[in-house]
Structure 1
Amino acid sequence: MVRHGKTARDDASNRVLAEAALWLVRDKGQDDAKADPGRARWMAEDPVHASAYARALSVWDDLGQVAPDWKSDRAGPGLRIRVRELAMACLVVCACALGLFAHLRDPNYATRVGEQRTVQLDDGTRVTLNTDTRIVVRYDRDERHIRLDRGEAYFDVAHNAARPFFVDAGHDYVRALGTVFIVRNDQPKLEVTLLAGAVQVGSRDAEAGRPAVILAPGDRLRRDGQTQGQLDRPSLDTVTAWRQGELVLENTPLSVAVGEMNRYSRRPIQVSAADAADVRLSGVFKTGDSDAFVATLAALYGFKLDKRPDALVLSGAANRTARS
């Protein structure tokens, strides 16, 4: 896509260069031992980051070489032009860097459909993002906040009693100290599963009138945005199976199973069979492998399978003897 003569790739490249410039400004003059560890992590995320930092460092060095003589009458026209170009480039980079300061202070992490990613935050907390998930990190002196904009994430929280840890999802929050838990945000639906420790799930919306709920290990709280929520105790192996790239189904309605599989693929499964509501599934399937999933359904239940470029369509009537 082209916008005003620039491509999206150009925009992305400029953004990375501006980020590199800001890291350079923040670290310049510091000993390597005192440099912000965030820069090392940022550079390790992508080879493009390291390249951009090297380019920013090169411009910095060029400015240092010519700056002492830039006002000198002995400076030739070529040197003065070079200085002017570098000064303008520096101003542009500084403007971009200032605009990105809040972005770097509150970094965000995201995954694409079908992708998973684990990140380690500055305090040692580890977060694993499931498919199509986005989080924004905001740490200050007194509190640690993660905003889960969408998707599902596994949190292994570093203990720090002086700085409580919050996950914000829509109008709800999860407060934890030294805890392992999973939050899934499919607004208006929220699902919190506690694996270890203790968490408090509450609402920041005063009008919601929902009291805070304390979970014990093994508890799962489900809310739909309207009710107080429902507590149950699911199989934790089933809840965490996505971390091993698996989807575990236990007497699951076909519509729910298909919805779960579709989270991991841009080629959705569609079911047009009239009696599909009667079908329930049990088994272990590989997330993202929609072709194998629909092939299994077609073989078990006698559905007709139509593999289209934009969808996998199951139709026809389910075999009565195969229904659970």
Structure 2
Amino acid sequence: MGQLNDEIDRTAAEWAAKVAGGSLSLSESERFEAWRAADIRHAGAFARAQAILVRLERLRAVGADALRTTIEEYPAAATDPEDCAEPQPVSGASSAAMHPRLLMRRRLMVSGAAACLAVAGLAGVFLLPVSSQQEFSTGLGEARQVRLSDGSLVTLNTNSKIVVAYTDSVRKIRLIQGEAIFKVAKNKQRPFIVSAHDTDVRAVGTSFTVQLLPEKPVRIVVQEGVVEVVRRDAPAIVPVRAKAQTQAIVSGSAPIVVQSIARPVVARQLAWQYGRIALENETLADAAEEFSRYSDTRIVVDPAVAGRTITGLFAADDPVGFAKVAASVLDLRVEEGPKEVRIVR
């Protein structure tokens, strides 16, 4: 039995390392969920392995070099000579190019939880209770991809924040602000719910975007599959189902509106993934507001020309470049100042 438990711990450690490294493919995500559901001990072993990773991330004061020295001084404590072997680098990166702390983390994980914790002499530290919540955020003009523990992938847009709270029965994410794309790993027994204010978006396995901006309605764009949109605080408002190539608009006390949108429109709305802003006959005023989400350099538009429209694909972090192109196309002028660019007649 002990040998079997060791094997479970080792497999759990390998899965935790893959999930943390963001290297799970769709087929691997499905195999991971099947492994975890096959035996009640698997879920517990995986949770322990994740706890180890969290503690390692927080161990900045000790430092990777100190941990490496500790392990190398006590090689006999490992149950197998290869237990603490260096894993193969992911995404084609060389071991020399990886951050020492990341190398240390992956070494400990692949070795198996019990063996390497005993080697490091830190089991009591790593197995302390950890929070079931995680926060992820981006700054102004920043985008970030996060691979969650179930294999789901979240892409955060500029100035965005989410709080992840997973349990054995449900996967909950709260969008605090901004915008995020959710590519959900399928698991019908474990619903995936994104909350934005009082709106819940429920999915099983799909891809969708939720946007929560100041003084604007909540907007959900579905790229694949189907989602259910529910107003928690307004039971009189009928929940709706939104399928691929549709968007749901949730505003005030009004009914939830579902609209069909063409694939090219969806692509334009998601251009921010690639650091771009796609405009299609947008007014200069609306374009300036959109650019303000990505940069602290303001675009100020002369009210006399604010209604003029522009079409094109622009770098999200270059408001000055956009202003110059727009002025050239619309026969206007640009005046540059500190942290400001003006488009005038």
1:157 deviates by: 0.5
Deviation at 1:236, TM superposition (A): 1.9
Pairs within 5 Å for 1:141-290: 141-187=168-214, 188-206=216-234, 209-234=236-261, 235-277=265-307, 279-290=308-319
Q: CA deviation at 1:263?
A: 0.8
Aligned-pair CA distance for 1:310: 2.4
Which residue of 2 is the match for residue 297 of structure 1? 326
SS of residue paired to 2:249 = strand
- Counterpart position of 1:37: 50
Does the 8 A contact of 1:148 with 1:168 survive in 2? yes
Residue by residue over 1:237-293, the C-alpha shift from the partner in whole angstroms, topping out at 9 and shown as x without a partner, is 11221111121111122222221111110112111232322x111111111111110
Question: Could you say which residue in structure 1 is the equivalent of 2:120?
Answer: none
Question: Aligned Cα RMSD in Å?
Answer: 2.8
Letter in 1 for 2:303: A
Structure 1 position 129 matched with structure 2 position 156: yes
Instruction: Determine the C-alpha separation between the residues in 2 that align with 1:224 and 1:160.
Output: 30
- Percent sequence identity is 30
CA distance 1:237–1:265, shift in 2 (3 Å) = same
Change (3 A) 1:280 1:42: farther
How far is the alpha carbon of 1:41 from its aligned partner?
6.9
Residue aligning to 2:340: 311
What one-letter code is carried by the residue in structure 2 that aligns with 1:195? Answer: Q
Q: In the aligned structure 1, how far is the partner of 2:55 from the partner of 2:344?
A: 48
1 CA distance for matches of 2:288 and 2:197? 25
- Aligned residue type for 2:330: Y
What residue identity is the alignment partner of 2:49? D
Match of 2:117 in 1: none
Structure 1 residue 56, shift from structure 2 partner: 12
Q: Which amino acid aligns with 1:262?
A: S
What is residue 76 of structure 1 aligned with on the other side? none
Counterpart amino acid of 1:250? Answer: E
> Does the CA contact (< 8 Å) of 2:51 and 2:130 recur in 1?
no
Partner secondary structure for residue 255 of structure 1? helix
The whole-number CA distance in structure 2 between the counterparts of 1:50 and 1:180 is 35
Which segments of 5 or more consecutive residues in structure 1 lack a partner in the other structure? 1-29, 62-93, 317-324
Mapped to 1, the partners of 2:65 and 2:237 lie a distance apart of: 51
1:225 is matched by which residue type in structure 2? G
Partner Cα separation in structure 1 for residue 49 and residue 315 of structure 2: 40
CA contact (8 A) 2:238 2:256 kept: no
1:155-210 Cα shifts (integer Å, max 9, x gaps)? 01011111111000001010000111111111452110111111001101136x32
SS of structure 2 residue aligned to 1:114: coil
Aligned equivalents of 1:263, 1:38: Cα separation in 2 = 35
Question: 1 CA distance for matches of 2:336 and 2:301?
Answer: 12
How far apart, CA to CA, are the structure 2 residues paired with 1:119 and 1:280? 36
The TM-score normalised by the length of structure 2 is: 0.64
Query: Closer, same or farther in 2 for the Cα pair 1:264/1:38, shift >3 Å?
Result: farther
The alpha carbon displacement at 1:37 in A equals 3.1
| 1:52 alignment counterpart | 61
Check conservation: 1:194, 1:217, Cα contact below 8 A.
yes
Larger radius of gyration: 1
Counterpart Cα distance in 2 of 1:260 and 1:238: 13
How far off is 1:213 after superposition? 1.0
Q: Distance in 2 between matches of 1:182 and 1:53?
A: 39
Q: 1:45-99 CA deviation, whole Å, 9 max, x = no partner?
A: xxxx5643538987xx9xxxxxxxxxxxxxxxxxxxxxxxxxxxxxxxx9xx99x
Greater relative CO, 1 or 2 (CA 8 Å, sep 6+): 2
Kindly provide the CA deviation profile for residues 2-44 of structure 1, in whole angstroms up to 9, marking residues without a partner as x: xxxxxxxxxxxxxxxxxxxxxxxxxxxx889455235447757
Structure 2, unpaired ranges of 5+: 1-8, 14-44, 71-124
